[in-house]
Structure 1
Amino acid sequence: MATRLLAAVALLAFAAACSAGPATTPPGAFVPPPIPMAEPGALIEGQVNLVVWAGYAERSWTDPFTRSTGCKVNATVAGSSDEMVADVKSGQYDVVSASGDASLRLIASGDVAPIDVAKVPSYAQIYPSLKNKSWNSVDGVPYGIPHGRGANVLVYNKDKIKDPPTSLGAIFDPDPTVAGHVTVYDSPISIADAALYLMHAQPDLAIKNPYALDQTQFAAAVDLLRKLEPAVGNWWSDTGAQADDLKKGNDLIGTSWQVVLNALARDGHKEIGAVKPVEGVTGWSDTWMIAAGAKNPTCAYKWLDYITSPAVNAKVAEFFGEAPANSQACTKTTDPGFCATYHADEEAYWDNVWYWTTPTTRCLDGSDRTCVPYSAWVTAWNRIKQK
């Protein structure tokens, strides 16, 4: 992953007050008002500037949006969450499709504003389990519209690994036969995967939330990754590149996404399988957010409602490879089995999926401990890879 280090990690002074469940605001903290939207019939701005993940603003759905609203879509693709944070801070963008490892940073710094959900009719159709969460709200005030979600599954080569793995230990305490062929997602947030494994493998560490680690817990997760580093063949960030490495046998086991598995299956590579480990997995939930300094707020609100509407949410989900956030989107997919593959309607499947959330000094598990903030995760991750 191209890493653009966070330029203002100190912004976590506000985020430090966030706790488990919906994020909380420290007494006296300023919460900006929602971005205003022009009244019905008012002249729209004529454009909306987005910073997005690749696949979130394709012309097959941006062109119809422009024709129906008069808002031209100008989209910039970001290569990482850190890039998204930096891009929003530049003041050039109205809307961002932030994952949970970026959204709380943007809320904490005041770079995004609360959303007036009354201006987004599709919000009522979003799965309740994705609303008012620690990565997209503050004191129950939504800062965005959920877009989709995915799990970081355990992928493995069935020809080389005869016994299907059941635990994250297959990655973090790998068999010597896979040394040099372990694949791990290239991001500081992957420290949470190690923490999730330790939550079950070393209960004496008392980890309750893989994003809420005190210094001892964090050191244990980092140490585990340092020990793993010699066995890692690829720190992956590009799904296409990871698919190629799995095809060639360069990667035999590790973390991956359902979209990679689908691509491999389409190419006839049935030797690549995946499981959800007994410990559960980390995952991600993306949120459409409006910049606090948005110059095109009316078009921004129109985009949020359009992109999360059932038909469009289904189209993007199928193109990108994720479970849609709109509860009615599954009736609009071209593949009738799509939502079953991505577990979109299986709420029980998501019960032990730990969605990416920005680590803060005030522990996200609700305790009164002091936890290690994201800035330290970035530093540790770079050192792990440099070993």
Structure 2
Amino acid sequence: MSKTLALSSLQTIQKCFASCSIGCKPSDTLPKRIEALSSAGFEGIELAMPNLMAFASEILGHDVGPYDYDDLCAAAIEVKKLCASKKMTILVLQPFSNFEGWTEGSEEREDAFRRAKGWIRIMRACGTDLLQVGSSDSPASKIGTDRNRFVSDLQELAGLLAEHNLRLAYENWCWSSHAPGWRDVWDIVQKVGRSNVGLCLDTFQTAGGEWADPTTESGLIEDVSRDELEKTFNKSLEDLSATIPADKIFFLQISDAYKVDPPFSKEPDESGTMPRGRWSHDFRPLPYNGGYLPVVEVARAVLRTGFRGWLSMEVFDGGKDGKGKDYDIQAFATVGLQSYIKMLEAVAEEYHALQENPVAE
């Protein structure tokens, strides 16, 4: 585990931004998003499937759906060329969801593996070696709670990826029905036991699941005292730093969250989305732009493992009411880079302040 977090060591980290996290209107096309991010100083993108589908429809002149893999691969080749012209890396294809846990022989399981094979084709076309898989949020009544089944499915997916020297980054979604926390996905990744399977960690997913709650007046988990909440959360971050090897963290995503006012109902919405899922989709700004999560603390915990791989901004900023914002994408990308730099400076400076002025036992 890294003993220090000198700013100089953090400045070697490569900067990424999710393509789905910038742009607020149809005219903000994928090429314009890439141009804005490149101009701002980002070195890579997470390629989001909805953006690839929209780009494919635009350049091919007809609607392209999620199973139109020939068309999607043709578009992916063009995205690869575009990114190469800007000296940008396509870090990952995302978000691959609701994959694991379906009953053997079910239509859902057949569809999951059909999608996996199609997404592998797209990965090869666009030149990325990494697939982001979110822990399934399908109801437990449909996928069960048998972790062995989830492990087996991910082992099979890892085998398909390994045939093409591709990797899998498994992320805990804090509203997942079976693996909402980092401990859950780390346990699963350990049981999968494949060298090409690691973690995608996320400041929102960790703090939003273990510290905050969009259904309470305070915006915090309220079934324990504030002191106990802080103690438990800090212990979780300490355990993360001490437990996960740096080489099993494939990348780190960064975002904050708005406090929801009025709070959400604790029940799923009309679409069946759980409160934290709804919160994730529309209420996630850049750090230092109106959120309240302990983003720096989570990032510091991950970086204390010694991880110095890709750091990616994945935000979904619909404003404090979640209804959407109108902004210029170049200005947004520039603010994104400023937020990134400020956060890394805070990670280092606060850490060194703690070392210079330790709290008396």
With normalisation by structure 2, the TM-score equals: 0.28
With normalisation by structure 1, the TM-score equals: 0.27
Q: Which has the higher helix share?
A: 2
Structure with bigger RCO (C-alpha 8 Å, 6+ apart): 1
